[in-house]
């Protein structure tokens, strides 16, 4: 069902019309095809919701990324790398305090690959990222790192509802990369592109 929604912001009716398919979350998860390794193959077309002013205010926290013409394999590498940055300092998951160590293993000649995709890591039970329980400051820093990294890689950002965002982000690490890579390399979202 195609619906047009007026977005009301700050009491003002904006002449912004967004055409979107309204789909409830419940029907979405059942309707979608499942991967062999149980990773849902969602695309931007499945991430459609009715945007209310409450949603638009929270787009800085809840969003997804898309790049035109990028292959799924490339998106896997890109999102994998940015996800490593998103997770933050090594060995201190979710740590945002400015605790500076006395020693770090940094060499002049050795090259650092922030992320190497391992195709065998799928299906392994990993830790669910404590995104939802994290303090706001932790979430803000995580979002900043992910956005900056994806911006430099040339990806566009699109808004999401919190509910849908949880769906694509509150998953095991390997799945998170796969799900988001599928979305990023899929059809172009019909909603408006946000500023980086």
Q: What residues line the site for another protein (CB under 8 A)?
A: 60, 84-85, 88-92, 96-108, 110-114, 124-127, 141, 144-145, 148-149, 151-154, 173, 194-196
CB-wise, 2 or 125, nearer to another protein? 125
Distance from chain centroid for Cα 128? 15
Strand pairing partners for 75? none
Closest among 112, 106, 195, 119 to 156, alpha carbons compared:
195
Question: Which tokens hold the place of 106?
Answer: 């940094």
CB-wise, 43 or 96, nearer to another protein? 96
Question: Which tokens hold the place of 99?
Answer: 């605790």
User: Minimum distance from CB of 1 to another protein (Å)?
Assistant: 31
User: Minimum distance from CB of 79 to another protein (Å)?
Assistant: 12
Asked if residue 65 lies in contact with residue 156, where contact means CB atoms within 8 angstroms, the answer is yes
CB-wise, 29 or 144, nearer to another protein? 144
CB-wise, 146 or 168, nearer to another protein? 146
C-alpha distance from residue 110 to each of 100, 106, 113, 115 (Å): 22, 8, 10, 15
User: Minimum distance from CB of 47 to another protein (Å)?
Assistant: 20
User: Minimum distance from CB of 141 to another protein (Å)?
Assistant: 5
């Amino acid at each position: 069902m195609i619906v047009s929604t007026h977005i009301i912001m700050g009491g003002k009716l904006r002449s912004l019309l967004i055409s979107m398919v309204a789909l409830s979350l419940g029907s979405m998860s059942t309707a979608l095809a499942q991967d062999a390794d149980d990773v849902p193959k969602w695309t931007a077309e499945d991430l459609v919701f009715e945007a209310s002013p409450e949603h638009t205010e929270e787009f800085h926290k809840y969003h997804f990324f898309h790049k035109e013409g990028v292959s799924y394999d490339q998106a896997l590498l890109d999102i994998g790398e940015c996800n490593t940055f998103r997770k933050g300092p090594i060995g201190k998951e979710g740590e945002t305090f400015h605790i500076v160590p006395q020693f770090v293993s940094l060499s002049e000649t050795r090259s650092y690959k922030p992320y190497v995709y391992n195709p065998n890591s799928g299906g392994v039970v990993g830790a669910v990222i404590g995104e939802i329980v994290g303090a706001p400051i932790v979430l803000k820093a995580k979002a900043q790192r992910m956005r900056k990294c994806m911006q430099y890689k040339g990806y566009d950002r699109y808004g999401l509802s919190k509910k849908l965002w949880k769906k694509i982000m509150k998953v095991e690490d390997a799945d998170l990369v796969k799900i988001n890579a599928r979305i990023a390399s899929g059809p172009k979202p019909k909603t408006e592109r946000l500023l980086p």
